[in-house]
Chains A and B, each alone.
Chain A
Amino acid sequence: MREALQQLIARRDLLYMIVWREIKIRYKQSIMGFMWAILLPSVIVAAGIIVRYGVSALSGKPITGQEIAGITVKGLVWAFFAGALRFSSTSLIGNPNLVTKIYMPREIFPLATILSQLLDLGVASCLVAVVFAFTRLGASWQLLWVPLLLAATVVLATGWALLISAACLFFRDVKYLVEVVITCAIFVTPVFYDVEMFRKWANLLMLNPLAPLMEGLEKCIVYGSPPDLPWVAYSAAVALVSLVAGFHFFKKWEPAFAESI
């Protein structure tokens, strides 16, 4: 494991170039360019606002600027997470030439997927700025939690991406499975709603490791209050376990990649 990490660090330039290639290719032939990075999360956010609007119309409570800002934050994080898992499934099988013809630490491919999605997230966060300007929300010291919460999200995504990319290499239909799970997961992840809405079921929803991170980000960015620390610790632990397990699984099966792809 240590040796694997050293190899990976030695090849960091390759990681950089693969990320650069992914971004370059994605935007080279599309007229919209970086607008894509904003468009997709915007669609999720818009869908969330429509759902929330419907709920507020039913309950008679008007929708607030904070709610809209909260949906924007969570929609962006969701777009990152879903994109990371979705694209990691093709990260290895989309590069058959590199897997079968040249040796390199193959975890570079799923890692590059994560990094390029992270870059998209960075571009898309200008949406948050726009929403904040409209709703006149301010900043607070609680924003200092954001890097930690984002890091836990990235670690969680990386662990699963490693697992998914390797699994897709051996079983092509894992890709469709991932697609189905992502589609369904938006219902059990507090993207369009807050877990508090479910009162006594809230804790059950928080078992989803992504939920405490999303709720935490919403709280510290929009409401200026600290995240729910025990739950964040739980998510961070799940994220670390996922990363170690994912990396281990990936490295264990890596020698068989070239002949199974």
Chain B
Amino acid sequence: MAADIVLKVESVSKRFSRGEMHDSLRDFIPSLFAKLTGRARAAPTASKEFWALKDVSFQLNRGEAFGIIGANGAGKSTILKLITGIMKPTSGRIDLNGRLSALIEVGAGFHPDLTGRENIYLNGTILGMRRAEIDRKFDAIVEFSGLADFIDTPVKRYSTGMYARLGFSVAAHVDPDILIVDEVLSVGDIVFQNRCLEKMNDIIRSGATVIFVSHNLRAIAELCPRSILLEQGKVTAAGPSQEVLRAYLERSSAQGRLSRSKALLVSRVKVRNSRSEAVSFESGDKIWVDVEAECSGDSEPLSTRTTISST
């Protein structure tokens, strides 16, 4: 693997079996007997299988920030779990070159009965730091989280936001070669979210590689020059983030929901700003929605309604 490539994902696929597996000996042993004596009814295994990822390939250079987007269930979390080694791919290869820190869920590994201070040590070692390293970084972690006053309170008394802040603070101080961030910025208040974005920018500037998975398209567009779009386990778009985001938005708005009646045929919906290019908006922005529809002559009177909801 070339020196400046830190991650190489080569035609990786992951299969899960849908449906109930045997999780007790009580079920397993009779089914084993049935199999041995040949009395098992041939189960239609194909229908029970489900490919969470199919032939996914991409590679990351050192110092690159890379976005992964896609709807719920598209396989984003699965690819992260394969990269971190939590699961093994069914087929394909993943080559990793460097220390990795994954923020798949902030504060995974926090224990509710332990204090913030104790959890920093616990979570820090879980994320791969040595204790001496945490000693050194402890003050910076507390400072970043802004929880100095509550650091000796058990985290079960923390709010969700405080919990996430502490979790992010620990993970951001691991100094990884590769940082994987999954959907963490959706928690915490706006001030902390901005601080997280800033910190991630710092990490990127310091030369680390970042993989960022989020529904926050604006953050992806800002942080990551390059992205891929996952749809039903396949990479359907790859390249500069703006283009990938546009492809994602067009597809998600054009999917299925366009027309429910025969009388009215909606052929295209496009969300844009005045120059027809935005993929994300800030409060105060003007949003334009273009709708093209055809209506078939002799129908009842039509009414239209537009709903905008945020994801």
A101 to B110, CA, bound (A): 12
Contact between B126 and A104, CB atoms less than 8 A apart:
yes
B-binding segment of A72-80, A125-133, A144-152, A171-179: A171-179
A69 to B259, CA, bound (A): 84
B87 interface contact, C-beta 8 A? yes
Contact between A16 and B104, CB atoms less than 8 A apart:
no
How close is A179's CB to chain B, nearest CB, in angstroms?
14
Residues on A with beta carbons closer than 8 Å to the beta carbon of B277 = none
Of A17, A97, A173, the residue contacting B26 (CB under 8 A) is A173
B249 interface contact, C-beta 8 A? no
A-B contact count (CB 8 A): 76
Residues on B with beta carbons closer than 8 Å to the beta carbon of A14 = 125-126
Residues on B with beta carbons closer than 8 Å to the beta carbon of A177 = 25
Q: Mark B124-164, 1 if CB is under 8 A from A, else 0.
A: 01111111000000000000000000000000000000000
How close is B79's CB to chain A, nearest CB, in angstroms?
14
Of A24, A29, A102, A171, the residue contacting B127 (CB under 8 A) is A102
B175 interface contact, C-beta 8 A? no
Contact between A97 and B108, CB atoms less than 8 A apart:
yes
A100 to B87, CA, bound (A): 8
B-binding segment of A60-68, A208-216, A237-245, A253-261: A253-261
A171 to B21, CA, bound (A): 10
Q: Mark A142-166, 1 if CB is under 8 A from B, else 0.
A: 0000000000000000000000000
**Binding site of A, secondary structure by majority: helix, strand, loop or mixed?**
helix
B74 interface contact, C-beta 8 A? no
A98 interface contact, C-beta 8 A? yes
How close is B184's CB to chain A, nearest CB, in angstroms?
12
A-binding segment of B114-122, B216-224, B240-248: B114-122
A25 to B114, CA, bound (A): 8
A98 to B110, CA, bound (A): 9
Known: A25-B113, A170-B23, A258-B86. A103 touches B102 (CB 8 A): yes
Residue with the greatest number of chain B CB neighbours at <10 A, chosen from A102, A177, A259? A102
Residues on A with beta carbons closer than 8 Å to the beta carbon of B45 = none
Q: Mark A83-103, 1 if CB is under 8 A from B, else 0.
A: 000000000000001101111
Contact between B114 and A258, CB atoms less than 8 A apart:
no
Contact between A259 and B108, CB atoms less than 8 A apart:
no
How close is B176's CB to chain A, nearest CB, in angstroms?
13
A11 to B16, CA, bound (A): 30
Contact between B114 and A259, CB atoms less than 8 A apart:
no
29 contacts between A and B (CB under 8 A): A11-B128, A13-B129, A16-B125, A16-B131, A17-B121, A17-B125, A21-B114, A21-B122, A25-B113, A25-B114, A28-B113, A29-B113, A97-B108, A97-B109, A100-B86, A101-B104, A101-B108, A101-B109, A102-B86, A102-B108, A103-B86, A170-B23, A171-B24, A171-B28, A172-B24, A173-B26, A255-B87, A255-B88, A258-B81
- Chain B residues near A (Cβ < 8 Å): 16, 21-26, 28, 81, 84-88, 102, 104-105, 108-109, 111, 113-114, 118, 121-122, 125-131
9 interchain residue pairs of minimum CB distance = A101-B108, A255-B88, A103-B85, A17-B125, A14-B125, A173-B24, A171-B25, A103-B84, A97-B108
